[in-house]
Each structure stands twice: as structure tokens, then as C-alpha cells.
């Protein structure tokens, strides 16, 4: 069972609704199920153990025994709480995506203006993703698992999903008319600066660098858009 298979199991082909694996937060705010929050202490420990194992051995080589040892419980307990490896990985991906999505949303919602919201989102996303040891291992050694979901058509779906989740936040600052377009663009900017393998001239974990990027290149375009008289009806949303 690879991460890729888990993610695909999580994403029914052609699903138009927000698929659960990149759960983020539905428009309106609260999480529908609160998967991660409701995890029992034992389940949380098992998921944390799985993350530690993946950071060390990768997905393919991690066994349920490794996870049980790491979590300080028996293999039977792992089965009882989270099922087999497939189910465990599904829950893990969902819990992590939800956790990071929630952190990014929370960072934005506390901000007073668009600049602060964007800087906070950028720094939060950068720290969560670049400091994520399990994700870093998978990107370095099993990258196909993640890439299918952020490149080409996977990238289209990822952008649409994040833009849907973030649009209400952006509507506060740019109005509902441009919220979807701005939300997608900002997600795209973060994705373009947080993808692996290329030398990035700005370190988004640093608020000064994040502010530099956002105030130099992102905000002026958004301001010009917000000031434009004609509605931008020409940008269809894709699903």
C-alpha cells in the first residue's frame, strides 16, 4: 500500500464535492467532523507513532509492528483503533491535512487586514510543510505519492479545493466578487514557493521574506483587481 493508493482511495474519480483527504475546512468555518480533534488519546498516539515511522523509513517500509512499538502499544491495539495499514494511512493523511489547513485558516482569521492575513498564512503553511518530517521523507524518496496531487490535473483539483475553503476568508478583505479568484491565486503563489527541489530566493518561514513577496508582487495585483470597475465574469471556475 503506497501513499498514492491511499490518497486515490480517498479521492473518488470525478468527485465534485470536496474530497475528504485534503479536508481543510468547508466554507463557513468549522470542520465537519473534527476527525483529528476527536481522536482518542490512544489513536492520537498511534497516528503520531506512524508519522515518526514514516519520517524515518518512508511509507513503503513502515510496518504495523514499527508503529505499535513507536506508540508503545500492541499490534492488536493498532488494529483495534485504526485498522490495518491502509486505513491508518488514510486517517493519517486526513488528520494531517486537516490540522495544517486549520492552522492556516486560524492564522488568517486572526488578521486585521489582507497583508497580515497573507503573511500569517504564508508563514504558517511554510513552517508546517517545510518542517514536516514525514512529508519531507516522502517528497525526497517517494515523491510520486504527493506529486500526483499537486502537479498538472492534481494541481487543478488541489487549487480548486483550497480556493473553495479559503474564499470566505478572502471575502472579508476583497469582497465576495473577487474572493474565489484571489483565494486561488494566493494558494498558487504559496504552492509555487513551497514546492521542493528548486532554489527559492525567499524563505517564507521568515515573516519578513513572506511580507516582501506579498507586498511586492501579490497585493498590488489584488488592489488593482478590487479597483477594477468591470466584474471579472470571464474566469470560470473549474471543478
Q: For binding to other proteins (CB under 8 A), which residues are involved?
A: 4, 143-144, 147-148, 151-156, 158-160, 163, 180-181, 184-185, 188-189, 191-193, 195-199, 201-202, 212-213, 216-225, 228, 232, 234-238
Q: Pick the closer one to other proteins by CB: 65 or 156.
A: 156
Between CA 45 and CA 48 the distance in angstroms is 5
Nearer to other proteins, 41 or 224 (CB): 224
74 vs 235 by CB, closer to other proteins: 235
Q: Which helix (H) or strand (E) holds 50?
A: helix 41-57
CB of 31 to other proteins, least distance (A): 24
Q: How far is the CB of 221 from other proteins (least distance, A)?
A: 3
Nearer to other proteins, 31 or 202 (CB): 202
Q: What is the DSSP string of 57-78?
A: H-TTT--HHHHHHHHTS-HHHH
Report in angstroms how near the CB of residue 102 gets to other proteins at its nearest: 23
Any idea what the Cα angle at residue 235 is, between residues 232 and 239, rounded to 5°?
140
CB of 96 to other proteins, least distance (A): 21
Q: How far apart are CB 43 and other proteins at their closest, in Å? A: 30
Q: Give least dist CB 203 to other proteins, A.
A: 13
Angle at 130 between CA 127 and CA 132, to 5 degrees: 95
The answer to whether 192 and 204 have CB atoms below 8 angstroms apart is no
User: Nearest Cα to 30, choosing from 112, 98, 123, 125?
Assistant: 98
Nearer to other proteins, 84 or 221 (CB): 221
- Interhelix angle for 64-71 vs 75-82, to 10°? 100
Half-sphere exposure at residue 81, Cβ-oriented, CA atoms within 13 angstroms: 24
Given the complex with other proteins, which of 173 and 193 has the nearer CB atom? 193
Which residue, 200, 195, 222, is CA-closest to 210?
A: 200
Amino acid at each position: 500500500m503506497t501513499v498514492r493508493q491511499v490518497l486515490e482511495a480517498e479521492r473518488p474519480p470525478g468527485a465534485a464535492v470536496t474530497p475528504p483527504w485534503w479536508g481543510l475546512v468547508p466554507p463557513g468555518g468549522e470542520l465537519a467532523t473534527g476527525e483529528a480533534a476527536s481522536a482518542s488519546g490512544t489513536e492520537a498516539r498511534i497516528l503520531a507513532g506512524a508519522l515518526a515511522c514514516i519520517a524515518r523509513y518512508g511509507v513503503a517500509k513502515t510496518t504495523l509492528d514499527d508503529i505499535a512499538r513507536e506508540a508503545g502499544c500492541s499490534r492488536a491495539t493498532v488494529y483495534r483503533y485504526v485498522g490495518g495499514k491502509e486505513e491508518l494511512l488514510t486517517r493519517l493523511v486526513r488528520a494531517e491535512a486537516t490540522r495544517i489547513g486549520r492552522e492556516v485558516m486560524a492564522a488568517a482569521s486572526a488578521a486585521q487586514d489582507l497583508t497580515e492575513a497573507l503573511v500569517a498564512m504564508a508563514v504558517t503553511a511554510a513552517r508546517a510543510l517545510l518542517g514536516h518530517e514525514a512529508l519531507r521523507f516522502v517528497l525526497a524518496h517517494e515523491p510520486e505519492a504527493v506529486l500526483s496531487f499537486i502537479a498538472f490535473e492534481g494541481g487543478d483539483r488541489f487549487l480548486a479545493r483550497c480556493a473553495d475553503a479559503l474564499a470566505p476568508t478572502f471575502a472579508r478583505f476583497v469582497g465576495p466578487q473577487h474572493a474565489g479568484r484571489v483565494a486561488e491565486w494566493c494558494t498558487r503563489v504559496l504552492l509555487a514557493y513551497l514546492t521542493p527541489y528548486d532554489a527559492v530566493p525567499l524563505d517564507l518561514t521568515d515573516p519578513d521574506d513572506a511580507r516582501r513577496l506579498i507586498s511586492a508582487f501579490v497585493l498590488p495585483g489584488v488592489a488593482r483587481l478590487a479597483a477594477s470597475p468591470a466584474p471579472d465574469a470571464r474566469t470560470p471556475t473549474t471543478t
